[in-house]
C-alpha cells in the first residue's frame, strides 16, 4: 500500500505538482487527428494535465495548441475565428499563429509595435499515426517522440475513450493481468476455447506466479502458468514511463500496440489506444471494427470528447440476468466489453482511491514495482532536476508484449529477449496460438 502522501504525489497532475511537472517532460497524446480534420476547421477545447487549451488547425494544415484565455483581456480563444493562418479573438480582433505569436492587432494604431511584445502560451505539436502529440514541458527544444511501433508503422491507427477516474487507477488496471481471468473471462470455461491455446491455459489455472523486471523505460512482468508436455505459458506485458502500457493478449513477437493514459485533470482521463496489429485473429485488419466502444455525441465543453455511452451514472448498463447466467465474455460481470468492464471497476473506486486502505498480494508485484519506480523518478526530478526515464531515450519504447510457450525451467527474460523487441518481424509465429481471448 501507499501512504496518503505518496498517493497524492502520484495522482495529482496539475501545473506545479511534482507528478504534473514530470508528466510535462514527455510528449503526450492531446487529440486524435480526426478531431481537427481540415485546415481552418472549428477550434477544439482540450483539457490536459489540468490546463485549459484551445487546439486548431491553421490554413496551412499546422496544428496549434494555445492557452484558453486571450493574453489581452482573457476572453476564451475557443470563440475565435480560425482564418488565414491564425486564430483571431473575437473580442478585439487579436490574432495568433500556431506558435502563439500575435500576428495582427487591429484595435491598435497601425504604427504601434505592441503586437511584437505579446505572445500567447503555445505548446509544440507533432502528428503521427492518427495522434496529435503535444509537449507541455520546459525545454525550448523538445525531446524526441517515443518510438512506438503502434503509432509509427504503416497502417497505424488510434482511438480514444474518456473515464471518470484518476489516471493512475486506470493505468494500474492496464498493467494488472491477474484480473483478466475473472473480470473479463470469469464466465468462460477451459472447455469453451481451443485446447492447446493460450486461452485454455489461462482459464485452466486462473492464478499465476509473477516475476517483474526493471527495463530502460519502465518495467515488465511475466505471469507463469503450466501448459503441456513440459512447457510453461508466460504472459508478458510492459509499462513505460510515464503512462504507456502494452497489454499481454496475443502472441509475443506479433502484437504492435500500446495504450496511454493522459490525465485531463485529477479526476478525468482519456485513454489513447494505438495499434497496427493485435497479433491475433480478428485484429485491426482492413475489415476490422476500429473503435469497439460506442460514444456519446461529442460536445464542445471541457469534458465533451470521447465519452462512452455506458457511464457510472447508468451503472455501465449492467445486465443482472446475464450476470446470473454467468456464461460468455460478459457473463461474470453483466457488463459488455472489456474496456467498459475495466472502466466500471476503476471508476467505482472513486475519483482518487485512498491506497493506504488496500491489501496487496503476490499477484500485485507489477503494481508495487511501478509505484516504486514512479515515486523514485518524481523525487529525483523534484529534488535534482533529473530527467525521468525514457524522456531522452525513444528507443526505450521499442518493446512488445504477449504470450509465449517456453520449456520448463527456462529463463523467460533471456528466452524472450528478441521477441520483446519492437520493429522485428517473426513470420514463423502463428497468431492462432493465442486462442480467442
The number of helices, as runs of H, and strands, as runs of E, in the chain is: 9, 18
DSSP code, position 200: H
Nearest to 338, CA basis, from 247, 235, 404: 247
Contacts of 366 (CB under 8 A, 6+ apart): 175, 176, 177, 210, 212, 219, 221, 237, 239
Nearest to 74, CA basis, from 91, 62, 60: 91
Grid coordinates representing 305 are 470528447
Q: Where are the beta strands (DSSP E) in 68-167?
A: 81-83, 86-88, 95-96, 102-104, 125-128, 131-135, 157-163
DSSP code, position 308: B
Tell me the backbone φ, ψ of residue 361, rounded to 5 degrees.
Answer: -120, -170
Spatial distance between the Cα atoms of 24 and 384, rounded to a whole number of angstroms = 16
Residues of the chain with pLDDT under 70: 277-290
* Residue 406, Cβ density class (10 Å: 0-12 exposed, 13-18 middle, ≥19 buried): middle
Query: Do the beta carbons of residue 70 and residue 94 sit within 8 Å?
Result: yes
Grid coordinates representing 63 are 496544428
Query: Do the beta carbons of residue 102 and residue 94 sit within 8 Å?
Result: yes
For residue range 156-184, what is the model confidence (pLDDT) as tens digits?
A: 999 999 999 999 999 999 999 889 999 99
Q: What is the pTM of this model?
A: 0.95
- pLDDT confidence of residue 307: 97
Q: Where are the beta strands (DSSP E) in 278-320?
A: none
- pLDDT confidence of residue 281: 35
Query: Do the beta carbons of residue 351 and residue 165 sit within 8 Å?
Result: yes
Kindly list the structural domains of the chain, giving each domain's residue range(s) and its CATH number in brackets, ordered by start.
Answer: 27-135 (2.102.10.10), 149-434 (no CATH)
Three-state SS letters, 320-385: HHHHHHCCCCCCCCCCCCHHHHHHHHHHHCCCCCCHHHCCCCHHHHHHHHHHHHHHHHHHHHHHHC
H/E stretch holding 233: strand 231-240
- pLDDT confidence of residue 277: 63
- pLDDT confidence of residue 289: 37
Grid coordinates representing 127 are 502528428
Nearest to 120, CA basis, from 174, 178, 191, 70: 70
How many Å is the Cα radius of gyration of the chain?
23
Tell me the backbone φ, ψ of residue 373, rounded to 5 degrees.
Answer: -65, -40
CA atoms within 13 A on the CB side of 71: 18
Number of Cβ within 10 Å of residue 305's Cβ equals: 23
Amino acid at each position: 500500500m501507499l501512504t496518503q502522501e505518496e498517493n497524492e504525489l502520484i495522482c495529482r497532475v496539475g501545473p506545479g505538482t511534482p507528478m504534473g511537472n514530470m508528466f510535462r517532460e514527455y510528449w503526450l497524446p492531446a487529440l486524435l487527428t480526426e478531431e481537427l480534420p481540415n485546415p481552418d476547421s472549428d477550434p477544439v477545447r482540450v483539457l490536459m494535465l489540468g490546463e485549459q487549451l484551445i487546439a486548431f488547425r491553421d490554413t496551412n494544415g499546422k496544428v496549434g495548441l494555445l492557452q484558453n484565455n486571450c493574453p489581452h483581456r482573457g476572453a476564451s480563444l475557443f470563440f475565435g475565428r480560425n482564418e488565414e493562418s491564425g486564430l483571431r479573438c473575437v473580442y478585439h480582433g487579436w490574432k495568433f499563429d500556431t506558435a502563439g505569436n500575435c500576428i495582427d492587432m487591429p484595435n491598435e494604431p497601425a504604427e504601434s509595435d505592441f503586437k511584437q511584445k505579446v505572445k500567447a502560451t503555445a505548446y509544440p505539436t507533432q502528428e503521427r499515426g492518427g495522434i496529435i502529440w503535444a509537449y507541455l514541458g520546459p525545454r525550448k527544444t523538445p525531446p524526441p517522440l517515443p518510438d512506438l511501433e503502434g503509432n509509427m508503422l504503416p497502417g497505424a491507427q488510434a482511438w480514444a475513450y474518456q473515464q471518470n477516474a484518476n489516471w493512475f487507477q486506470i493505468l494500474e488496471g492496464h498493467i494488472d493481468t491477474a484480473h483478466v481471468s475473472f473480470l473479463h473471462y470469469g464466465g468462460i470455461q477451459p472447455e469453451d476455447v481451443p485446447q492447446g491455446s493460450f486461452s485454455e491455459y489461462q482459464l485452466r489455472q486462473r492464478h499465476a506466479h509473477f516475476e517483474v523486471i526493471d527495463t530502460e523505460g519502465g518495467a515488465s512482468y511475466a505471469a507463469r502458468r503450466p501448459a503441456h508436455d513440459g512447457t510453461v505459458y508466460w504472459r508478458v506485458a510492459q509499462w513505460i514511463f510515464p503512462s504507456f502500457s502494452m497489454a499481454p493478449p496475443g502472441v509475443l513477437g506479433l502484437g504492435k500496440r500500446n495504450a496511454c493514459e493522459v490525465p485531463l485533470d485529477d479526476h478525468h482521463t482519456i485513454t489513447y489506444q494505438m495499434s497496427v496489429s493485435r497479433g491475433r485473429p480478428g485484429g485491426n485488419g482492413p475489415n476490422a471494427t476500429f473503435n469497439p466502444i460506442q460514444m456519446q455525441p461529442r460536445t464542445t465543453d471541457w469534458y465533451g470528447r470521447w465519452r462512452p455511452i455506458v457511464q457510472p451514472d447508468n451503472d455501465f448498463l449492467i445486465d443482472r440476468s446475464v450476470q446470473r447466467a454467468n456464461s460468455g465474455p460478459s457473463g461474470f460481470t453483466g457488463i459488455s466489453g472489456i474496456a467498459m468492464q475495466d472502466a466500471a471497476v476503476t471508476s467505482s473506486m472513486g475519483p482518487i482511491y485512498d491506497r493506504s486502505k488496500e491489501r496487496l498480494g503476490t499477484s500485485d508485484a507489477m503494481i508495487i514495482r511501478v509505484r516504486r519506480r514512479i515515486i523514485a523518478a518524481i523525487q529525483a526530478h523534484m529534488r535534482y532536476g533529473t530527467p525521468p526515464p525514457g524522456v531522452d531515450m525513444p528507443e526505450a519504447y521499442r518493446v512488445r508484449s504477449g504470450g509465449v510457450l517456453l520449456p520448463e525451467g527456462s529463463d523467460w527474460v533471456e528466452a524472450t529477449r528478441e521477441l520483446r523487441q519492437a520493429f522485428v518481424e517473426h513470420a514463423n509465429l502463428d497468431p492462432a496460438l493465442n486462442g480467442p481471448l
